[in-house]
Every structure is written in structure tokens, then in C-alpha cells.
Structure 1
Amino acid sequence: MNEGGLGLRNLKVWNLTLCLRLIWVLFCNHKSLWGCWIKENRIKNRIFWEQEQKGHSSWTWKALLSLRNAASAFLMSRVGNGNQTSFWHDVWTPFGPLIRHFGPQGPRELGIPTDARICSVVNENGWKLPSARSDEAEALQIHLASVSLPCASAHDDEFLWRVDNVELDAFSTKLTWESLRPRAPIQLWTSNVWCEVSQHLWAMIIRRLGYRTLSFHSWNAFSDWLGSKDSICPTTLRRLVAQAVIYSLWHERNNRLHNNISSSSEVIFKLLDRRIRDAILARRNRKKFKNLIAKWLTFA
């Protein structure tokens, strides 16, 4: 809201965030029945990053595969024995996925297959890498000389979720959403609209609907209230009023931002009241709207 919007989530970005969590489940040790089934029946012994999008695959699986580039920006591996980490595709060095660092010619240059895991690139003598023939190969070998060599007796590889250079042991929906969502500059006028106006206006609306007091700490709680049933106010009226309130606040926001015109809570409520009455009367012959005008005017 302090960026000038209504505080509503962009559903496309929200869906991306939740889909990324499904990808995270495939890499962490989460005891998910879905994750176990996918690893056993879809991934098997292959690498997630090299899975092919087959025509007979489910829509969900195809959607997850299409998000691999987005997921690689967050997923990173802390190498132990090297059995789970892909040499080319996982992020385990400062260079990001090595397949991007070297380019398509990388596997041929180093003689390492694209489906290789780190454990297959080391032996008792060290890293099985040819002499550096490019700046990228030289930078990689310099880095590898400064890290511990993976060995079979070490702990399993651990995957972390990194958001804005903060390494997390578990997926964070909030931080991932904040990282992905589009942002805008902080607007100084928002405190006047969303605090001064909206709180007073909301108090007036709640009293008109027959409630003594009512507040919400999240949009989810607000949405749950709109879909619930109680003996005080019909669900249809609550939804109608909510739509009208949001529209009125957005209209006020635009007036203040673009036209340098502001209205008091009382003026906004008067226009809101007229808008709700008109909406109800226009649908008065519908079953759910027959008694709404009387209900709306009960506490006027």
C-alpha cells in the first residue's frame, strides 16, 4: 500500500512463488508424499534440470519444468559428498550454474557430461579436470583450490534457498514473494489515504453493516470474512460493500495522485452509500438482492 497500490497480490507472481515452493520440496528432505512420488516416478536417477517436457506429462509437471530458470536463482547447494549436486546445473560455486558460466561448449571443454554429479568429478587425487584452456576454466580451478574436496565419508549435500544473498535452510514464501513482486517507489501520500481516510471510512461501513467493531490483519482474513456466513449481515451485502469500498479508495487514491484533489471520509461515505443503494436497486428483482436495501438502511 505504501507504494501507491491497494496492497492486493499480483496473482501471477503469487502463483510463481507457490510453484517455486514445489520445486524446493524436490530438493530438500521434506517428507512430502507428492515430492516422494515425483522423485520416484518422474525424476528417478536423472537430474531435475535435464528433465524433458514430454507431451503426455501432466500440466503441473510441465509448468514446474518451465520454471527451472527462475528456481536456479534461489536454489544453491552446500556440497558434502557430492552425490546429489549437479556439476553443471546446480549453484555450488560463486559463478552460478556452470553451464551458464562456460556456455554450451563447457561440457566438451572439460570433458564432463551434462548429467554428471560432483562426486563423479573427483577422486583420491583431487578434481578430475583438464588444464584450463579459457578464462572461465581458470577461474573455476582457482576457486576449487580454495574449497574442501568432496569425499564419500562427508555428509550429504544440503540445498539452501537463497533470497537476496540471505541463505535459508527452509523455503520462505514471504521473502520469495517480496523478491519476485514488482515494486514501485514509496509514495508519501499513502499514509493519508490508507490510514486517515480508510480507517475512519471502514469504521463507518462496519457500523452500517450492523457490527460493533471489526478489523483484519491480512487480506486472507478479509477474504475469509467475505465468504463466511453469520446472522448479522448477508454474505452478498458484505461482498457488494467490500467491492464498493475498494473502488472508492482507489478512486480517492487516483484523485490525490493525479488531480491533487482530496475528499474527507464523510464525503467518500456519502458517495459510497449512493453507489451501494444504486447497485442493490438495479438488482432488486434477483433473489439474493430482494431484502438487501432494507438491511443496508437498518443502521443508517
Structure 2
Amino acid sequence: MVRGGSETYFWFDPWTPYGVLIDYLGPSGPSDLGISMDSLVSSITQGSAWTLRPARSERQVNLHVYLTSFSPFPGSDAAIWKVRDSICANFSTKKVWQFLRMAKPSVSWARFIWNQAIIPKHRITSWLFMLNRNPTMDRLISWSLDLENCCLLCGSAPESRDHLFFLCPYSTLVWKAVTGVLGFTNPPLQWDSVLHWFESATSNQVLLAALLQLWHGVIYALWQERNVRYHDGLTKPHWMLSREVTKQAKDKSAAMRNCGSELGLSLVTFWSAV
């Protein structure tokens, strides 16, 4: 916010609606207006009037028109944040991001991905698979890479997102083992069917949060297992992955409780009774 202008550079501070003026008016701006590159805003005023050469372009006219809308007055200049013409008390990364990004309609599966009970790295992996952006074998081959499309977990079918989660015999065992801990004996195996199942699997929000913890955990663990097999040739039995996923869900719940989360407390109580 410009008051006296003694702390604001005319050419290099974004003190007008046109942003940085050297960018807006171009390299010829200083010579056209007769204002040196290191000038402060206060140096082009006399009392409450502006001392500018007559405008020689449409953009200079715009600047002249803007300057007639206010006059300098005594006081110190101050930096302010404005988002969509609204002055913010503090800088907010969230508000800036929402202003810059291209907004799209909400998707039905968002609440299953962006759940506070989920470990962050698990959420990101699941989100990428939701968009089908991770480099599974079928996608790598679609990029013209010379590879044999064979699932690294079972070795009996082409690898794709839908096969890995959870039509693959290996991943089926892991998925059924972790959902069995919660009392679900026959969970769906096909990707879209699993998402549809979450809508009606339970009305208990704590149980749903625990189920989502396991779903995200299994996706992450299976993808890690697949990558270790691809790069290092090492394998784990399915029961070991199931045990690790369940332990991670319990550890995440305890961490949430220790941070004062009510959901975390409910999840710890839930997991202690399972």
C-alpha cells in the first residue's frame, strides 16, 4: 500500500493494478516517462500531484488514469496481500493456490482419498492410482517401451491398475486378510466395485476410517512390493504385507491421538478392541 511512496520503487514494486511497471510498460517506459530505473514513487510527486510526461501509448494512458484515482499522503508504505481484490491479514498459501488453480467439480471419491486418518504418502499413491497415472506395465507399454506385460506379483496375467488392486491372486490374499481383521469376509476385488462398496460397507464412521486406512495401506504396500521385485528381485510373503499394513494403521491412529485428534482417539479405541 503506497502512502508517501518513499519506500516503494516506481518500476520494480507491484504497487499498481498492472503489476511491475517495467514489465507492463516495457524497456522504453523509463525514457518515455522520463523516470529513472531507480526512482521511488515519492520522486515523481509534488505535494499531492503526480509529475509525469504526457502518455504516448495506451498502457501509459491506463497508468495515468489509475494515478488520478488517488493522491500520495504522509505515512509509511506497507506491503499487503490481495487475493481476488480482497485484502488478507496474512499471507495464505491456500488462498493463493485456490486463486491460481483451475477449479474443477468435486468428485465422488474425494472423501475416500483425502481422509485425515490416512498416512500422507499412502494418500498420494492412492490418488495417483485413482487417476491411473502410476507407471504400471500396461501404461509403460503404451509409451512404446519394449517390455513384457506380466504381473510381477503373480506372474500369470498382464499388469494393470485394476489387476493389481485386487484381481491379482497375490493381492487378493493381502486384501482379504486385512479386511478380514475388520470382519469383512467377502470384500469386492474390482477397483470400481471397491469404491462403490465404500458407500455402503458401513454407517460407522470410525469403522469406515479404519477400512480406508487398510485400503490405502494395501495399495501402497503392494505397489512397493511390486517395485522391489522389479528393481531388486526380492519378495515378501503375502501374510507379511498384511501384518505390516495393519500395524501401520494402528500406529497412525496412535499418532493422531497423541496430537489431540478425536478421530485418532476413537480409532485407537477401535483398534484395541479388534
TM-score bin (small chain): 0.3 to 0.5
Which is greater in Rg? 2
**Could you state the TM-score of these two structures normalised by the residue count of structure 1?**
0.42
Which of 1 and 2 has higher RCO (CA within 8 Å, sep 6+)? 1
**Could you state the TM-score of these two structures normalised by the residue count of structure 2?**
0.46
